[in-house]
Amino acid sequence: MTQKFKVLVTRKWPSSVENKLKDTFDVTLNENDNPLSKAELIEAIDNYDALLPTVTDTINDEIISSKNRRSKIIGNFGVGFNNIDIESAKKNGVVVTNTPEVLTDCTADIAMLLILGAGRRASEGEFHVRKKEWTGWRPTHMMGTKITDKVLGLIGMGRIAQAVAHKAHFGFNMRIVYYDPYFKNYEIAEKFNAQACSSIDDLLKDSDFVSLHCPSTKETKGLINLEKISKMKKTSYLINTARGDIVVEDDLVTALEKKLINGAGLDVYEEEPKVNSRLLELKNVFLLPHLGSATEETREAMGMRVFSNISSFFDGKEPRDRVV
């Protein structure tokens, strides 16, 4: 790669990755880490050879179809790419890449944290201590739900769901059930004795914890609504580390208020970073600020994956993680 291609990074990335980009490309960084406006994103795609957004940047058709577009590749920082208009990218001949695999374990760890946190009322308990409301141990104080030996239902059976299944089964002796019509690698499922469900409804009624691991698509948007939640056990919990719009948040709040289920653990939200104000008032929901991949090791690996993808592209090679 002799030519120094112009690259724009939309948010602040780990310093090791930014330094790697600076050594190789003519790179513009976002030192203030402020989100770019649509006008700024159009300006970027018009003036740079590569646009490197994150999953919180909406790269829509208006941006990709800009008549002055210079960028030929969008290197997304994240495994999800529902923030990018994929059909527009196809139409305009723009390559899109993502960062799979490297965030699997850390996101699975967060799913387990939400299972434990929701089931054992962790956030509620911490605030109880911080507010100096705790008056001492007593037999019936803040009783939660045992995690060990419970049934964990996974909607979606991709890499992250498999990692959660492994941790839950071997770490907590949980029985694993799953629903994923596209998953056919039964040898993997057998490793943690996972049983396939014939429908989402069957999974919902049998599970003590339901963990979402499906992508956000037209088919899955709003998949978990009041009707679906009503099929869950009243003692069960809903866990979401996938995408916020898979769950109809108002319906979830209603279910939690009416105690149709015991609780929930969320790392993603329907209108992120805005969090439904009704959720904030509830004690039976454990909330995290989209921390799924938020470890130094993983975020650096994600950035390096973007670097590898765009380097391959500019070298005339096929990017490893090409989506379009």
What is the three-class DSSP state of 301? helix
Out of 69, 213, 243, 299, which one is annotated catalytic?
243
User: Beta strand 6-9 with 50-52: parallel, antiparallel or unpaired?
Assistant: parallel
Q: Please report, for the chain, the start and end positions of each structural domain, with discontinuous segments joined by +.
A: 6-101+296-314, 104-287
Out of 40, 101, 272, 300, which one is annotated catalytic?
272
Where does the pLDDT of residue 1 fall: very low under 50, low under 70, confident under 90, or very high at 90 and above? low
Where does the pLDDT of residue 2 fall: very low under 50, low under 70, confident under 90, or very high at 90 and above? low
What is the three-class DSSP state of 309? helix
CATH architecture assigned to 104-287: 3-Layer(aba) Sandwich (3.40)
pTM, entire model:
0.95
Task: Report the sign of the C-alpha dihedral through residues 265, 270, 274, 279, in that order.
Answer: negative
Instruction: Note the pLDDT tens digit of each residue in 22-32.
Output: 999 999 999 99
Out of 169, 290, 300, 322, which one is annotated catalytic?
290
Q: Would you call 272 a catalytic residue per the annotation?
A: yes
Task: Report the sign of the C-alpha dihedral through residues 254, 260, 264, 268, in that order.
Answer: negative
Q: Would you call 166 a catalytic residue per the annotation?
A: no
Contacts by 64-69 with C-beta closer than 8 Å and gap 24+? 64/88, 64/89, 64/92, 64/94, 65/91, 65/92, 66/42, 69/45, 69/94
Give the separation between CA 48 and CA 42, rounded to whole angstroms.
10
Q: Would you call 133 a catalytic residue per the annotation?
A: no
One-letter amino acid at 296 equals E
Instruction: Note the pLDDT tens digit of each residue in 306-319.
Output: 999 999 999 999 99
Q: Is residue 15 over pLDDT 80?
A: yes
What is the three-class DSSP state of 52? strand
| 89 Cα distance to chain centroid | 22
CATH architecture assigned to 6-101+296-314: 3-Layer(aba) Sandwich (3.40)
Instruction: Note the pLDDT tens digit of each residue in 248-285.
Output: 999 999 999 999 999 999 999 999 999 999 999 999 99
